[in-house]
Structure formats: structure tokens, C-alpha cells
Amino acid sequence: MRKSTWSILTLVSLGLLVLSFCKLVPIGLTEVFGFITGAVCVLLVIEQNIWNFPIGIANNVFFIVLFLSSRLYGDMALQGVYVILGVIGWWQWLHGGEHRTKLSIRHASAGEIAILVVVGLVATVGLTVYFQSINDAAPFLDALTTVLSLIAQYLLNCKRIENWYVWITADILYVGLYVQKGLHLTAVLYAIFIAMCIAGLRSWSKSLQQQKGKGVVP
């Protein structure tokens, strides 16, 4: 299944690169590379492969350029934060476990979730007001998706299984936002992300059960 998924992604990526380079479709190379690196990154996260972090950082760079041209300043700034969080997450996955061992999958605690909900609500209100002041194209949605994505990335860095639920919620909102802005390939990518996140949730759930069986998770 994984081999077939990678094969399909490779063929789709090559096709999009050719179509974009030859100007056969109204999609720029920046958006195509954002699509490719984003899809590869999520597949690597599902497989708990540490290489998701450097690929994810490359994805952030492509989207910084793309979102700047679309005046989605919140998403653009978010990509810059992702670069920093990607470096931190890279280290956490390698050395964030007990005695600086590899990090294992965990559930977020009730206290952790409560704090994230409160911080998320306050941050969304504050960012909405700020984005309105700088003439953002979609201030509330941009703020909400920005906050949800940061929360999801925090949970991912800590290998909390709840990160998938937050990503799914954010990706559903992103699909509508990017369709509205005419970024159709990016909208398709995020629609694919939803399916991949569901697959990731199932995969991580199985891994968590295996860890519990081995006594890894307290």
C-alpha cells in the first residue's frame, strides 16, 4: 500500500511539473513544488520518519513565496514559524524521550488540551483584529487556521496523537479558503491532506496500542 502510494505521488508530481513548466495549466512552479513537498512531508509523518522535518521546512519556503503573492499574510507568517518549529520538532523526535531517547507517541493530557483551547481562542481573536488592520484577504479564517495549525504543530512535535484531529479541522477550513483565493492546486493538496491525516490517525493509533502492549506508554 505504501509503495503504491509513493508511486502514485511520483507520477502525479512529474505530471504536474511538466504541465506547469510547459504552461499547459495555469499553475506556477512554486505551487507545484509546494504540493509535492507537502504531500511527501505528510506521508513521512504517517510513517513516523524523521525526514518529514527537513522536507517540511522546504515546503514552508515554497508556501512563504506563494502566500505572499496572494496576500495571505497570516499563512505566510505561519510558514516562517513552521521553519523554527520544524527544527525544534526534529530535535524532539530524536532526543525528546526519557534519557534523551527517541520520542514515543502519547495522548495529550486534559490539562494540556484545556490550556491549548484557551490560548487558541485568545490568539484567534487577537490575530483576527490584527489581520483586519493590515488588510488581510480573509482575516478571521486566516487567523483561525493559523492558530489551529500552530496548535497542531506543537502536538506533532510532542508526538501527541491528537495532532491529527486538529490538522483535519484546519485542513477542512483551508480547502475553502484556498478555493476562494483561486489557489486550486493548493486546495486539492489540502483535500488530500484530510484523507492522509485520517490514515495517519489510524496508523498512529495502531502504533500507540503496540507501545502500550510493550509497556512503552505509562
pLDDT tens series, the chain, 218 aa: 567 888 888 998 999 899 989 988 888 888 889 889 988 998 999 888 999 999 999 999 998 988 888 777 767 887 888 899 999 999 989 887 666 677 889 999 999 999 999 999 999 999 999 989 988 878 898 889 989 999 999 999 999 999 999 999 999 999 988 888 888 877 888 898 899 899 999 999 999 988 877 766 54
Q: How far is CA 3 from CA 6, 7, 33, 149, in A?
A: 5, 6, 21, 28
Rounded Cα gap, residues 130 and 194, in angstroms: 28
Report pLDDT for 11.
92
Q: Is residue 81 part of a domain?
A: yes
Give the helix ranges, DSSP H, for the chain: 2-21, 29-46, 52-69, 73-95, 110-133, 139-157, 163-180, 184-214
Domain encompassing residue 193: 2-96+106-214
Q: Is residue 191 part of a domain?
A: yes
Q: How far is CA 51 from CA 40, 54, 85, 88, 176, in A?
A: 10, 6, 14, 13, 29
Report pLDDT for 170.
95
Report pLDDT for 165.
97
Q: Is residue 101 part of a domain?
A: no
Closest to 79 (Cα-Cα) out of 91, 90, 98, 65: 65
The total of structural domains in the chain comes to 1
Q: CA torsion sign, 182 to 184 to 187 to 189?
A: negative
> DSSP states of 159-216 as a string?
TBTTHHHHHHHHHHHHHHHHHHTT-HHHHHHHHHHHHHHHHHHHHHHHHHHHHHHHT-
Q: Is residue 186 part of a domain?
A: yes
Rounded Cα gap, residues 92 and 60, in angstroms: 19
pTM of structure:
0.81
Q: Is residue 55 part of a domain?
A: yes
Report pLDDT for 97.
66
Rounded Cα gap, residues 172 and 165, in angstroms: 11
